[in-house]
Structure formats: C-alpha cells, structure tokens
Amino acid sequence: MRTLLALAIVAIATPTHANPQTALPSTMAPLDQYLIADRDAEIALARSAAPPSISDHATIKVLTRRGYETAVEGKNGFVCLVDRSWQNTVDDPELWNTKIRSPVCFNPPAVRSVVPLEDQLTALALSGATREQMTARLKTALAANTFSPEVGAMAYMMSKDQHLNERDQHWHPHLMFYLPGTIDAAALGANLPASPVLGGAQVVKGLGTMPVSVYFVPLDHWSDGTSAAMHDH
C-alpha cells in the first residue's frame, strides 16, 4: 500500500486542460489503442523528451501489454518513456484519452521515487480498474501512509511531438520538479506575473490535497534545439 500512496505523484506529472467540446472515452478503450505498434518509433519518441546528450545514454522503456518494459539499457541513470493518459489525475476528463503521448525523461532521483510508481499506476490501469476504483485505492493509500519525493527529483518534457491533452497538445517544452507538498507556490514565486515557474500542490476531487507539489518551468526550445514559440500561460 505504501507504493500506491506515491501514485499521486505520477498522476499529476503532466499539466492537463480538458476541452468540453471534445468527446473523450469515459472508460478505458481497448489496450491496442494505447500501444505503439512500432517499437523503434516509441523508443525514438521517448528519447525526444530530453536533449540527445541526456537521452542518448538513458534507459528507454516502452509500453507493452504487461506494462512498461526496458527496451534499451542506459548508462547515465536517466529513464525515458512515453506516458499515456492514466498518468493524469484520476479526476481528469482525459484520463482515458487514447491520443495522449507524453514523452518524459526522469533523472536518477526521480527514477528511484517516481518511475516505480508510474509502473504501479500503469498496472492499476491495465488491470481494468475504473476511475472510481483507482480513486478508492489512492484514497486508502493516502490515509495510511506519508510520502515525500526524493530531493532533486525532476524530469524533462521537451519533445516536439508530445500530445499532452486536447487543448494544449504540445504546450511548451518544459522541466518538472517534484517537491514536498508542504512547499507552496509562494516559496518559489510561482504563478506570479512574468514568473517562469508554474504549478504547486495539487488538489484532486475525492482525494484532497496531494502530498507533493509539482512545478513546471517552460523553455523556449525543444529537445532538438529548435525554437519553441512561447505564449502566455
């Protein structure tokens, strides 16, 4: 149950905005719709989350019917993979959106404290659990345990080909930092006018405030070095 507590970290890893005009599945679609048939294409997409200086030497995981499995063994301690829709919050309308492909590269502290939890949440989704069942299991875990992300945990999301949600499909290339939920936005000057830092503690319907704060820092270039147009957030 301790591992289930930390699923909350993964569930808020990607900024999402639901578009009420878009018809989205209310339950998980057939698994084939979430898989990428071309294994090499998924490896390349995962690598695109971070600059080649990082991702070329990272471990790469791909999604299979059994969950995420290592496709390439790395040497630098980073792990890159392509998140699917169930890594959003369990109350997100896009929880089962088959189009979501969110390449992400985790640094070593995040590999130790976030990636195993991604695997757990994936297992929960692939088990056929409903949104309500996922929420119930997370609620039980949160009530029974205490969690704080490892110091220094962060991730790269700089893929030009990311599809994060239906409204802001590509959003910005950005970095994510995982901090204890006790660290609020004011401590980092986040969300203020002209501040480059966004995010904070998350509140999920049915679960309350999560024990982790996630902060995003948008960047002005993609992982391949090309310019990314910045817009107001």
| Contact by Cβ (8 Å): 46, 158 | no
Q: pLDDT tens-digit profile of 115-174? A: 877 887 898 899 998 888 888 887 777 677 656 789 999 999 999 999 998 877 778 999
Query: Could you identify the residue written with the tokens 């204890």?
Result: 180
The model's pLDDT over 182-218, given as tens digits with 9 standing for 90+, comes to 888 999 999 999 999 999 877 667 666 666 788 999 9
End-to-end CA distance of the chain: 36
Strand order in the sheet with 208-218: 67-72, 59-64, 79-83, 102-106, 154-157, 174-180, 208-218, 198-204
Identify the top-confidence range among 52-61, 79-88, 105-114, 164-173: 52-61
- Mean pLDDT over 27-53 rounds to 97
Overall pTM > 0.95: no
For the chain, domain boundaries:
2-218
Dist CA 217 CA 228 (whole Å): 14
Please give the single-letter amino acid code of residue 52: P
Provide the pLDDT for residue 162: 95
Lowest mean pLDDT, pick from 11-20, 63-72, 146-155: 11-20
